[in-house]
A and B are shown apart, each in its own frame.
Chain A
Amino acid sequence: MSKEHEKGMSLIVKKVTCLTVGLILLYGIYIVLHGHVSPGGGFAGGVIIALSFIHLMLAFGKEAAMKRLSESKASLFEGLGAVSFLAIALLGFTGGYFFKNVAAKGDPGALFSAGIIPLCNIAICLKVGAGLFGVFVALVLLKFDTEKK
């Protein structure tokens, strides 16, 4: 097989990926930020963001994707997302209850509204996106002992 196949897929796929991967990332961020006014939220947006990185890896080979989001950075984002979600929940204690909605709630349907829900969405997006990408990297790049020779 030609050397092209070692570094990803064919030229057409690479060109189309160049055009779409940024849009996919942006779409994922849109779904996360509008999670409290339209369907979606943290989990769905996080999956789409992870998919954009996986798309990059599938089209260009693993070097290109790992350069942009290495395993240690993915691990860091994942931990940050989890800790910040728990911190937001514990912040509810300032209002007297665990997980209480203590931030300002604006008008329903506006972008800056609904208290802590957008913040929770962002935390979940970090965790899910980085986690899913980490799972993919771990499963795909797993080197068996037999192959390490």
Chain B
Amino acid sequence: MSSIGAQMPYVLTLFLFCLGVYGMLVKRNVIKIIIGMVIAEYAVNLFFVLAAFKFGGRSPIFSTTDKELLAANMVDPLPHALVLTAIVIGLATTALFVAIAMRLYEKYGTFDIAEIRELRG
């Protein structure tokens, strides 16, 4: 299981996280910062779901009450529920960010974070 092909999804997800963090820290446009945060948050959620994966597993839904098929070879269902919560939290944070960004544009007239620097010292 430790072939490089099997590790690629995890590596790519963490690469996506690094891209998102790069966007948050380096980009100057406020909207790009928000998009960077959204990408990073999706990457963490994706990584969480990937951490639950089992090779050859099926999705953790009881589509029948037949006792024999219950829980046979399912992937781990707990991260699925946790990721649902994390997505909701991300939605709330994004909505707040966008609202702050819109008001910021109203007050400062620009989306460039390098010019929004009145607090210093």
With A43-B84, A139-B98, A139-B99 already in contact, the answer to whether A144 and B106 are too (CB < 8 A) is yes
| Tally of A-B Cβ pairs under 8 angstroms | 23
Which residue of A has the minimal Cβ distance to B95? A135
Which residue of B has the minimal Cβ distance to A144? B106
Majority-rule SS of B interface residues: helix
Q: A6 within 8 Å of B by Cβ?
A: no
- In residues 83-103 of chain B, which contact A (Cβ within 8 Å)? 84, 88, 91, 95, 98-99, 102
Q: How far is the CA of A132 from the CA of B88 in the complex (A)?
A: 11
Among A41, A144, A146, residue most surrounded by chain B Cβ atoms (within 10 Å): A144
Which residue of A has the minimal Cβ distance to B94? A135
Which residue of B has the minimal Cβ distance to A43? B88
- Chain A positions within 8 Å of B62 at CB level: 108-109
Number of interface residues of B (CB under 8 A): 12
The reply to whether B106 and A108 form a contact with Cβ atoms under 8 Å apart is: no
Majority-rule SS of A interface residues: loop
| Cβ-defined partner of A39 (8 Å) among B61, B64, B88, B95 | B61
- Chain B positions within 8 Å of A19 at CB level: none
Q: How far is the CA of A38 from the CA of B99 in the complex (A)?
A: 34
* A122, chain B: closest CB distance, angstroms: 17
Q: A4 within 8 Å of B by Cβ?
A: no
| Cβ-defined partner of A142 (8 Å) among B61, B84, B91, B102 | B102
- Chain B positions within 8 Å of A43 at CB level: 84, 88
* B92, chain A: closest CB distance, angstroms: 9
Q: A138 within 8 Å of B by Cβ?
A: yes
Q: B65 within 8 Å of A by Cβ?
A: yes
With A108-B62, A109-B62, A135-B95 already in contact, the answer to whether A145 and B106 are too (CB < 8 A) is yes
- Chain B positions within 8 Å of A107 at CB level: 65
Which residue of B has the minimal Cβ distance to A38? B61
The reply to whether B95 and A146 form a contact with Cβ atoms under 8 Å apart is: no
- In residues 133-149 of chain A, which contact B (Cβ within 8 Å)? 135, 138-139, 142, 144-146
The reply to whether A139 and B102 form a contact with Cβ atoms under 8 Å apart is: yes
* B2, chain A: closest CB distance, angstroms: 32
- In residues 109-131 of chain A, which contact B (Cβ within 8 Å)? 109, 128
Enumerate the 9 nearest inter-chain pairs by beta-carbon distance, A residue then B residue, closest first. Answer: A144-B106, A109-B65, A135-B95, A108-B65, A43-B88, A142-B102, A39-B61, A139-B98, A139-B99
Q: Which residues of A contact B (CB under 8 A)?
A: 38-39, 41, 43, 107-109, 128, 132, 135, 138-139, 142, 144-146
